[in-house]
Structure 1
Amino acid sequence: MLAAPVTGTADAAPTAVTTQAHTPGRVKDDGDTVRHSWPGVYFEATVRGTGVGIVLKDSAADYDVQIDGATVATLVTPGDRTHWISGLQDRTHSVRLVKRNDTPWSTSTFGGFLAAPGGAVLARPAARARQIEFIGDSLTVGYGNLSTSRTCTGDQLRRTTNTDVSYGALTARRLNADYQVNAYSGLGMVRNYGGGSPDVAYRTYYDRALLNQPGDVWQNPGTWRPQVVVVHLGTNDFSTPVQAGEPWTPESLAAGYRAAYGDFLRKLRTRYGSNTVLVAVGAGQFAGHVEQVVKARNDAGDSRVRSWFLDSAGLDFLGCDWHYSAHDDRVIADRLTPYLASLPTGW
């Protein structure tokens, strides 16, 4: 029987994190620790023995610890300590640590895995051949998707957000793909929810590893080469009416959105090359704009840009503040998985 996580002191310093743990996420590699900010970042390792230590420094985010495919502990704002999962059978175990929620104002630090006395952290698991990048806002984060009420306090929102059961994470796992969820709640392509923070938008942050550090740029170690990038941005641009004082009219907002979206797709094409399939998700009132952007890219000769309509039929929007529920994330993954599998990726 598994024991609850306990605080302990490592009996030996962990080796360099990226030599023992597999992660496709955007991390800053500092050797014995890695720092990260985006939601859904995960670390996988193989550990032999009766216990696993997880070295964390994080006062903002929550994490799930999964052993052999089952969640055995949720670490709520774990602080600066080593958390131990004890009482394991004395054998080899797969271990996965995953960040549940989005904390863009904070930097998270992971110091690696430890084995209980007599055990060992074994060779780093191999990366998956398939890779998918998901770009979006709170709907892609999994904002409040485990909530039992649409009305949530800030604390309830933090505890009930779980990117690991968002539609992106579910879709990627069904396709046996590594993934990144580079999503930021409240932001749009050119306009944010309610017209807030007009000096920034999603594209302000996209290049960063550490979201709260202006000017930061993630350095791709050369291992992140997604065959598919799914972009789901537009809800925050259009879901609230333009307010007095905003630099938009409905017409200029639509035109600005389409222009910025086209520029963003060109940026992704330059970054990832001609073989990556770029999937632009359209939903609700911005679906037509997405289709126009994709048509323009296709007419310019880029046939590997596709549009995918996210149908809201069958969704209950029972997450916090009328966001997708965990049920909705499963429904969307049911629809998105076969679509991505049908793309010309060589899978």
Structure 2
Amino acid sequence: MKTISIKTIFLLIVGLTQLTVNSQNKVTFYPASHPSFVYMGRVQQNNETVKFNWPGVNVMTSFSGNELGIKIKGGERNYFNVWVDDRPEQILHAVNDTVWWYPEKLSKGLHQLRIVKRTEGDMGMAEFSGVYVGKKDKLEKPAPLPERKVLFIGNSITCGYGTEGKDKMERFKPATENCEKSYATITARAFNAQYHLVSHSGLGMVRNYGDKNKVSTQLLPMPPRLKYLIDGDSTCHYDLQNYVPDAIVINLGTNDFSTTPFPDEAVFIAAGKKLIKKLKEEFPDAKIVCVTGPMINEPCFSYTKKMVGEIRNDLATENVVFVGIPVNLLNTDNDLGSDYHPSYRGQLKLAQLLIPVLGTMLDWDYSLSEVLEKLKD
């Protein structure tokens, strides 16, 4: 067996160290606190880094040059989409504090960068530290965010749970969750709108999936989390006025009624009305759509529709509507991903029903190009 001398090992270590130093000398690091970074979603500034765990949080900037390194940490279960210009997305899985170098060849011009947390809060905290670009290159402010704003409050369907699963029998894995293939983000793109996703798998209006009680108390259901800066942390509140939506889409109820015992009708309706009244107090001009389906049927449909009717009377408003998405909208062979959840194709069908309703309510123009093109595949 051929042996390697101590001297050879020492020279290899010195060489690698020198290579690292030389590489660092050729790039400039911009921390997450730099003013050229723009964030869409709920983030917590922590000195030079930014932390977040809600799905769909976007980190955006523009950079010049052909080198890009992203310093980020997401743990074992978080995944990120990295978009540069109109190139196909790269999937980033940063278990430890990692500098990930963009693998494709880039030109020397100005590029738009967007990093998206594709997984939900239960997958763990993300910590973004900043980016490296070439020594002679720089960061600039990215293209401005759209003026239109939509807030989505929901469960696993809104999170994009299992959208990239190969079929309904595949068990969920974090790598198959992609919120950018959720009906929510599809809808936002159709309107060229900003979006915030306040969503968490397994949570309901009053009862969470599999709870032995009619009302969940040990793990709080979805409505109280509306005010959380970090999902799961009730001590750190988000100022709701930091993001004033034009429209709010609520898709809750699936987990309340997926297993027994079902919550009582009066309790479910009271909770829904309380949530909508809170939203109307914060955002009096917002249009609200309450969605039921496609993974649940009765009595969730009837309860939600009745709740919407009562709140319209209570508030004397027509700006709260019900949209029922039937179970048979989805083809069980082609439209389902992991654990019988809607795949990307299934989510496109949800969006196809929701988009025209919001368009009419808001008097907004929209494009169905993504929906129509992808459903052809």
Whether the 8 Å CA contact 1:62–1:100 is kept in 2: the answer is yes
Choose from 161, 164, 178 the match for 1:162: 178
Return the index of the structure with the highest Cα Rg. Answer: 2
Structure-1 residue corresponding to 2:85: 68
Taking the aligned partners of 1:143 and 1:232, their CA distance within structure 2 comes to: 14
Query: Residues 22 and 313 from structure 1, CA distance in 2 versus in 1: closer, same or farther, beyond 3 angstroms?
Result: farther
Query: Structure 1 residues 194-203 or 115-124, which shifts more?
Result: 194-203
* CA deviation profile, 1:150-172 (whole Å, cap 9, x unmatched): 2334xx52111100111100110
**RMSD, aligned α-carbons:** 2.2
Structure-1 residue corresponding to 2:253: 234
Structure-2 residue corresponding to 1:114: 132
Query: Structure 1 residues 329-338 or 72-81, which shifts more?
Result: 72-81
Identify, as 1 or 2, the structure richer in helix. Answer: 2
What SS is found at the alignment partner of 1:126? coil
Taking the aligned partners of 2:276 and 2:175, their CA distance within structure 1 comes to: 34
* CA deviation profile, 1:304-341 (whole Å, cap 9, x unmatched): 11111223343135211111111001111122222211
Task: Give the percent of matched residue pairs that are identical in Structure 1 and Structure 2.
Answer: 26
Structure-2 residue corresponding to 1:306: 321
Question: Any unmatched runs of 5+ in structure 2?
Answer: 1-19, 366-377
- Match status 1:215 vs 2:229: no
* TM-score, with structure 2 as normaliser: 0.81
Compute the displacement of 1:12 (Å): 3.6
Structure-2 residue corresponding to 1:203: 223
Taking the aligned partners of 2:32 and 2:340, their CA distance within structure 1 comes to: 42
Pairing of 1:53-92 with structure 2 (within 5 A) = 53-59=69-75, 60-86=77-103, 87-92=105-110
Whether the 8 Å CA contact 1:19–1:124 is kept in 2: the answer is no
Taking the aligned partners of 1:309 and 1:70, their CA distance within structure 2 comes to: 36
What SS is found at the alignment partner of 2:136? coil
What SS is found at the alignment partner of 1:264? helix
- Match status 1:99 vs 2:117: yes
Choose from 251, 254, 259 the match for 2:265: 254
Structure-2 residue corresponding to 1:245: none
Letter matched to residue 95 of structure 1: L
* TM-score, with structure 1 as normaliser: 0.88
Pairing of 1:3-14 with structure 2 (within 5 A) = 11-14=27-30
Q: How many aligned positions are there?
A: 329
Letter matched to residue 96 of structure 2: G
What SS is found at the alignment partner of 1:279? strand
Compute the displacement of 1:16 (Å): 4.6
What SS is found at the alignment partner of 2:362? coil
What SS is found at the alignment partner of 1:79? coil
Whether the 8 Å CA contact 1:53–1:116 is kept in 2: the answer is no
What SS is found at the alignment partner of 1:45? strand
Taking the aligned partners of 2:353 and 2:281, their CA distance within structure 1 comes to: 29
* CA deviation profile, 1:255-279 (whole Å, cap 9, x unmatched): 211100000001111122x211011
Compute the displacement of 1:290 (Å): 1.3
- Comparing both chains, which one has the higher relative contact order based on Cα–Cα distances under 8 Å and sequence gaps of 6 or more? 1
Query: Structure 1 residues 128-137 or 26-35, which shifts more?
Result: 26-35
Whether the 8 Å CA contact 1:47–1:94 is kept in 2: the answer is yes
What SS is found at the alignment partner of 1:330? helix
Question: Any unmatched runs of 5+ in structure 1?
Answer: 1-6, 243-249
Letter matched to residue 223 of structure 2: R
Taking the aligned partners of 2:122 and 2:24, their CA distance within structure 1 comes to: 29
